[in-house]
Structure 1
Amino acid sequence: MNVIAQIFAGIAALIHVVVWVWESFLFRSPRIHNGIFSVATEHVPPVMLWAFNVGFYNLFLGSGTIIGLVMVNSGNVDAGRALVLYTCGFMALAGVVLGISDRLALGRPKGSGLGGAVSQATPPLLAIVITVLT
């Protein structure tokens, strides 16, 4: 796997691990729930279970990519590349879904989640494209 593709995959993994911390452990902080996720304080209690669980989905995606990168660099290139491409594909498609759902959002300003969608989809998509092209 190309080093540049590995860097983008690593960035994607890091983003997902950071979001895991935000969603699963720091979500009650207004800086996180309001500032990052645009969730009003009065709506935090009903979405805590959702945020906690989605945070762990992000952890599992990020750690899968990290494991794949370790495998690639430990001599198990084919299996590692497959794992990285699968998790990056999952992340990129989830970013697309986030962007679409943001456009359909009710009761929120449209575009408020678009930055998250771009952040989620771009690094893994670049990792996939670079891997396929090299």
Structure 2
Amino acid sequence: MLLAVQILAALAGLLHVYIFVMESVRFADPKVHQATFKTDPADLEAVRPWAYNQGWYNLFLAVGALVGAALVRTEPAVGWTLIVSSCGSMLLAALVLVTRDRSMASSALKQGLLPLLALACSLTQL
């Protein structure tokens, strides 16, 4: 089961690296800000700094999940702390997203499913 936790936490981390790229690197692309984030082009310059900042938050969570997955076998206390805190934050962010706007349920599910599964599998290990 530990391998499942590692894989799920790493996948959650990689997904959040992808989210970082969309929010902080590619946000000006209409395929990203219009199609993915539903941002009106007239609002792009006002929203762009927020998206940029949010992208970095997602990258920091990703790094925590990836490093935790890599260290959990050799440094269990550090690995588990990083996995639980990073995946827990990812999951809570997904819950905040959907509780604020029900139309974001699909995005919240994509953002929160892998961390949820990683945490659920962690329960058998802790």
TM-score normalised according to structure 2 size: 0.94
SS at match of 1:11: helix
Contact 2:34 2:40 in 1 (8 A): yes
More helix by share: 2
From 85, 94, 107, the counterpart of 1:116: 107
Q: Distance in 1 between matches of 2:84 and 2:61?
A: 11
Q: Between Structure 1 and Structure 2, how many residues are aligned?
A: 125
Following superposition, which runs of at least 4 residues in structure 1 exceed 2 angstroms of deviation? none
> Alpha carbon RMSD of aligned pairs, Å?
1.2
Q: Deviations over 1:61-117 (max 9, x none)?
A: 0011111112114x10222111111110000010000111113xxxxxxx2x22110
Letter in 2 for 1:67: V
Q: Which residue of 2 aligns with 1:88?
A: 87
SS at match of 1:35: helix
Q: Which residue of 2 aligns with 1:107?
A: none
Q: Which residue of 2 aligns with 1:36?
A: 36
Instruction: Compute the displacement of 1:52 (Å).
Output: 0.4
Flag structure 1 segments of 5+ consecutive residues without an equivalent: 104-110
What is the percentage of aligned positions where both structures have the same residue?
Answer: 36
Flag structure 2 segments of 5+ consecutive residues without an equivalent: none
TM-score normalised according to structure 1 size: 0.88
2:61 aligned with 1:61, yes or no? Answer: yes
